[in-house]
Amino acid sequence: MQQLTGIDTLFLTQETERTPLHISPLLIYDPSTAPGGSVRFKDILRLFESRLHLAPIFRRKLVEVPFDLDYPYWVEAEDFDLEFHVRHIALPAPGDWRQLCIQVARLHARILDRSRPLWEAYVIEGLDNIEGLPKGSFALFLKMHHAAIDGVAGAEIIGAIHDTEPRAVARDATRTAPWHPDAPPTQLGLLARAWLNNLRQPARLAQTVGNLIPAARRVREGLRANRFHNIRERVNTRFNGRIGGHRVVNARFFPLAQVKAIKDLVPGATVNDVIVTIVAGALRKYLQAKGELPPVSLVAGAPINVRTQAEEGRGGNLVSMMTLSIYTDIADPLERLHQVHDECMSSKEYSSAIGARTLTDLTQTIPPRVAALGFRAASQTMLMTGATSPINTIISNVPGPQVPLYMAGARLLCSAGCGPLLDHMGLFHAVLSYHGGISVTVTACRDMLPDPDFYTECIQASFDELKQAAEALGRSRARALQGRRPRARKATAP
Q: Which residues are catalytic?
A: 146
Helix %, strand %, coil % for the chain, to 5?
Answer: 40, 20, 35
DSSP string, 287-317: HHHTT---SS--EEEEEEE---GGGTT--B-
Return the beta strands (E) in 336-378 as ranges. none
**H/E stretch holding 62:** strand 60-63
Return the beta strands (E) in 272-409 as ranges. 299-305, 319-325, 393-398, 406-407
* Amino acid in the structure at residue 280: A
Instruction: Using alpha carbons only, give the angle 474, 435, 101 rounded to the nearest 5 degrees.
Output: 100
Question: For residue 469, what are the CA distances in angstroms to 261, 332, 409?
Answer: 12, 9, 41
d(CA 244, CA 249): 14
**H/E stretch holding 428:** strand 427-434
Which long-range CB contacts under 8 A does 309-312 form with residues at least 24 apart? 312/156
d(CA 202, CA 207): 9
Q: Determine if residue 473 is left, alpha or beta; phi over 0 gives left, psi from -120 to 50 gives alpha, anything else beta.
A: alpha
Determine how many CB atoms are found less than 10 A away from the CB of residue 475. 10
DSSP string, 179-215: P-PPPPPPHHHHHHHHHHHHHHHHHHHHHHHHHHHHH
Q: Which residues pair with 138 in a beta bridge?
A: 29
Per the CB < 8 A criterion, the answer to whether 340 and 276 are in contact is yes
Q: Which of 13, 40, 8, 29 is nearest to 404 (CA)?
A: 29
* Amino acid in the structure at residue 147: A
**Burial per residue of 182-214, b for 16 or more beta-carbon CB atoms within 10 angstroms, e otherwise:** eeeeeeeebeebbeebeeeeeeeeeebeebbee
Question: How far, rounded to the nearest angstrom, does the alpha carbon of residue 85 sit from its chain's CA centroid?
Answer: 22
